[in-house]
Amino acid sequence: MTGTETRNGTTKKNRYRLPGIEREAIAQLSLLETALWPLQGGERTTATFDTEYSFKAGDKQQAAQVTVYAPRGLQSEDEYVLWGLLGITLSQPNAEPTLLATPYWLIKRLGMSMGGYQYDQLRRSLERLSLVAYQNTAFYNPVTQQHERVTMHFLSSFLPTRGQGGDVATDRAWRIEWSSMFFKMCQATGGTLLFDLDLYQHLSPASRRLFLKLKDRFWRSKRVFLNVDDLTINGIGFSADRPLKKRKFDLIRCIRELLDHQIIELGQGQAGPQDLFIRRGKGLYVVQFFEGEYFRQAESKRTTGRKNAISEDPLFEPLQKIGVDAAAIRRLFETQTRANIQRWVKITDAAMHEKPHGFPGFKVSPAAFLIDGIQNQRMPPDWIYIHDKAQQRERWEREKASQAQEEQSLRSVYAAERQAAFQAYLASSEGRKHYMAFSTAFQELHRALNPHHYREAAREAALEKIEREHFQFPDFGVWLLERKATEA
């Protein structure tokens, strides 16, 4: 077998080969070099986790330092959610960096048990992942095909609530927006690892990490050697304070689990997992892994009925809740871009449930409003920008109120630096050009709507558009990691 057909219809190398599976997940390869967060239970005293790995660049062995900033920590299910959602997003036709779907659909596609607790579990996982900032001093970027010093976020989550700051609404669409650079890396050839989410779900947290690490390496060799000390601490995330003897015992439990699922197998003459270890010196062990029968299974046909059915599309349920029938949904999927459909689902959903200031009401119905906006390629109404801005302000105020005193002062510094950078951008030639173009266009629009204050309204709208679409400044977590790196 020389390759396998991917979700986009192209052929990729055997790194992506796997038996016929029901649920695909996708992991970013460079992130798999180390654990994202330690496996020990309980609260950590710090919001950062430092680890490292070595790689070969030419004839030289080099080291990469990794720092993960997670204010609320990470739980074992968070990686399952991260890789599962990434697989769902990239499996869509003409994949966009925005995933809009009801939590019921997400839980169903992730293969999680259905129940009230799962909605809360998914929400907490998304909120923890949204706060994570990842820094790597030698990250291999598949887009540029070189090692780079990278600081980035993975995703942002936007979950509608009931009323002002109430509980998260589980009957409305949740929005997950992937970081632009991270998403491009995951789309690039050689940047991701495709794997079986159902098998991954049945493994323990430590075995999951070992499974992904081996799956990538078995692409290059059927026999893999790994340093036990480095694997258990940096690769799997066992505590460095735990003695090597106990970490070996934990690793043997993972090996037994992978043997049970035929992911690995014993070598000739080996009777048990202990025989896979090779002593290279005092306190220095190497463990060898042999590719198992799982990777040699014949590829069966994937379940195409599920993938081709419009009812399995994440946008199907939100569109149905708006009132669009199945035939109209099919036409929209066939004739319109996902980005345009998602944009108007978001606008219509806000109009239905939040009654934003300035929204005049539906002339016919929510479904007619949405279809008119999509088919006629209309610009989003002004009231949705004002509404989004108000929601962002409320969200920021709630977050600020819940932050510790030290972080509040850092957020004040961040806000001041961001505002100063925005003013500097407006003073640049590019910023002035955008401001002149947008303010002129908005003046024409607002002159008819608000003749007495149209200049002020046009100025505010132009500044919001520039800040939203053209101004670039890192999110707080990324800014904080970069600040710490500069101070160090």
Query: Higher pLDDT residue, 31 or 164?
Result: 31
Instruction: Give the predicted TM-score (pTM) of the model.
Output: 0.71
Q: Among 311, 316, 255, which residue's Cα sits nearest to residue 288?
A: 255
CB-CB neighbours of 264 under 10 Å: 27
Rounded Cα–Cα distance for residues 485 and 61 (Å): 23
**pLDDT tens-digit readout, 221-277:** 999 999 999 999 999 999 988 999 999 999 999 999 999 999 999 999 899 999 999
**pLDDT tens-digit readout, 140-195:** 999 999 999 999 999 999 998 876 656 888 889 999 999 999 999 999 888 899 99
Rounded Cα–Cα distance for residues 53 and 65 (Å): 7
Q: Give the Cα-Cα-Cα angle 67, 73, 75 (nearest 5 degrees).
A: 110
* Contacts by residues 363-369 (CB-CB < 8 Å, ≥ 24 positions apart): 365/323, 366/322, 366/323, 367/322, 367/323, 367/324, 367/328
Q: Give the Cα-Cα-Cα angle 108, 112, 115 (nearest 5 degrees).
A: 85
Q: What residue segments make up the domains of the chain, in order of their start? A: 1-202, 204-295, 338-402, 405-487
